[in-house]
Structure 1
Amino acid sequence: MGGVFINYRGDDSRAMGELLDRDLAATFGREQVFLDCYSIRPGADFAQELMTQVRSCRVLLVVIDRDWLTITTPAGGRRIDDPADWIHREIVEAFTAGVRVVPVLVDDTDPPTEKQLPADLQALARCQAVTVRRRHTRLDVSALIHQLCDVEPTLALAAASAPSTQDTTITDAPGPRGVNVTGGVHGTGAGITIGAATGDHVTIGTPPPSAQQPHHPR
């Protein structure tokens, strides 16, 4: 992959992960962004796929909300302390592979401290974090994209080579059913909207991938 891997915990963080996935894929291209519920194909060995993608990415984004540290296992222990926990495993694998790890703090979440983390994750507390506020996602994600381009030249190149937004108008022969085609194209999955004289609208293009419920507990 060589791009961005999005690490998230549970349904609440998944919503933020999906938002990041959408905006990053629109900027860098779908092939440069990995989110398990969109990126793992049916029948794939998800354990192998997750570890392979972590090792090959340039940046691992760790989405951290206020419950990130306190979510527990059925036995009552913290999930983040469990070496078999997928969030734990992905972050450890990223550090082992020398991947840049960026904590993404949701809203007013405080960054975890070393004392709050298991020993093999304590380096996370020393990674410079960014904040994404749900009420200001466009502003904050745009700032994150610029920062990623600054620190990872391969992502800057991917953004530069992604299709830029273009507006095109095509009109067919005169008549009451004249069709105007206006499209904004940016990145993978963008489409074109056709508005006919009757007010009909049709979207042409590749739709974004459908989300699948991960079968590995997050």
Structure 2
Amino acid sequence: MPDIFVNYRTIDEDTGATLIERELSRRFGSERVFRASKSIKAGRRFPQELLTAVRRSSVLVAVIGDRWADARGADGRRALDDPEDWTRREIVEAFESGALVVPVLIGRATRLNRRDLPPELVELADCQYRRLDTRNAEADLARLGDDLAEALPQLAEAERQISRIEAESDDVAGSRVGRVDGGVVQAGDYHHQQDGGASNVSNSGTFINTANGPLHTGSGDQNNEIRNGGPVTFNGDGGSYVERGRAQQWFGGGHRSDREQ
């Protein structure tokens, strides 16, 4: 179940709620952040889903824009005055369950006035708010995330776990390998600045870059002489080389194998 419930009025700040949910999901994990249009699966009964999620959440983020207090229902009444209004019900449920309620005011002009609230929601005006301004969105979202991580230790731990997983993924794919103690070096992981020739990759063996001639990776001497159109000969303990478009291997003692390149 989620730790964070994002409460919003669709006709007021659907975009702001989406922005907040996506940033908190990035930091803490999508499964920890509930937003109705994202989290309720097709065919599920939304009244039960909403009430269950808000009752089990540790914090409710109330997203409030400049139309939040004055929005009207289908009957023409102010929505906040309707006990069945879902935005209102979710906040009331959060207060009753003991959740932390954080109002997030969208834009610089939005205000939260006790006189505009029904008695059941007056407590909302006493909650310390945060502000989200599109001109300062990155810093405002970071501050909100920091506040929630400080208030809920499980969110701070979830963020640390996500950071560790991302760091491990970066190490496996696309990272530069400076030293390899055995094992396999992936071509996409090893970056070599030398153009052509051969060099040693720590204990993994020989790295050959842009080979244009016969190659020998054994410990003995190499003789590149071509005798009567025949193969290259070696005096060492074996290795691999290229001759006339064919990949050749020589293992010493006169044994040699050929394979089409």
TM-score normalised by the chain length of structure 1? 0.75
Runs of 4+ in 1 over 4 A off after TM superposition: none
CA contact (8 A) 1:28 1:159 kept: yes
- Determine the C-alpha separation between the residues in 2 that align with 1:137 and 1:180: 36
Partner of 2:21: 21
Secondary structure, aligned partner of 2:174: strand
CA contact (8 A) 1:64 1:109 kept: no
CA contact (8 A) 1:4 1:58 kept: yes
Partner of 1:90: 90
Give the superposed CA RMSD. 1.9
Partner of 2:62: 62
Q: Which has the higher Rg, Structure 1 or Structure 2?
A: 2
Which 5+ residue runs of structure 2 have no aligned equivalent? 177-186, 190-261
- Determine the C-alpha separation between the residues in 1 that align with 2:3 and 2:66: 27
CA contact (8 A) 1:111 1:125 kept: no
**Equivalent position amino acid for 2:38 in 1:** Y
Partner of 1:146: 146
Matched, 1:169 2:174: yes
What is the aligned length?
A: 174
CA contact (8 A) 2:12 2:67 kept: no
Partner of 1:192: none
Q: How does 1:65-214 map to 2 (within 5 A)?
A: 65-164=65-164, 165-166=166-167, 167=170, 168-169=173-174
- Determine the C-alpha separation between the residues in 1 that align with 2:136 and 2:59: 23
Q: Provide, for residues 85-123 of structure 1, a one-character-per-residue CA deviation record: whole Å limited to 9, x for no partner.
A: 000100000001001000000011433222210011110
Secondary structure, aligned partner of 1:60: strand
- Determine the C-alpha separation between the residues in 1 that align with 2:72 and 2:145: 32
Which 5+ residue runs of structure 1 have no aligned equivalent? 172-178, 182-218
Partner of 1:207: none
Higher relative contact order (CA 8 A, sep 6+): 1
- Determine the C-alpha separation between the residues in 2 that align with 1:48 and 1:74: 22
- Determine the C-alpha separation between the residues in 1 that align with 2:65 and 2:45: 28
